[in-house]
Amino acid sequence: WRDPAGSVTLSEYPAPNSWVGKSVEAFERGLAGRVAFIGRYGEALVPTETSVIQEGDRLHIASAVADVDAVVAHMQRGPEGH
């Protein structure tokens, strides 16, 4: 999804294995966006300060369109790259 002006996007990504078991709070450090919600077992949940990324999660990340490549790079680096 993109806003009508084309500057903000809500994109869905599979949770990278390197982030499984890590908190959403840790994931968002250095992320050029925010986890708006998580798709888990057919349900949607808004993450809290205690939410942990699980295998099979779908991360729905809100970011500026210009930052999409940075979001993907953040996920690929994994927690060890931060």
Q: Compute the distance between CA of residue 18 and CA of residue 65 in angstroms, rounded to an integer.
A: 24
pLDDT of amino acid 80: 83
Give 22-71 pLDDT, tens digit per residue.
Answer: 999 999 999 999 999 999 999 999 999 899 999 999 999 999 999 999 99
Written as one letter, the residue type at 4 is P
pTM: 0.92
Task: Output the CA angle 43-64-40, nearest 5 degrees.
Answer: 10
Structure confidence at residue 82 (pLDDT): 61
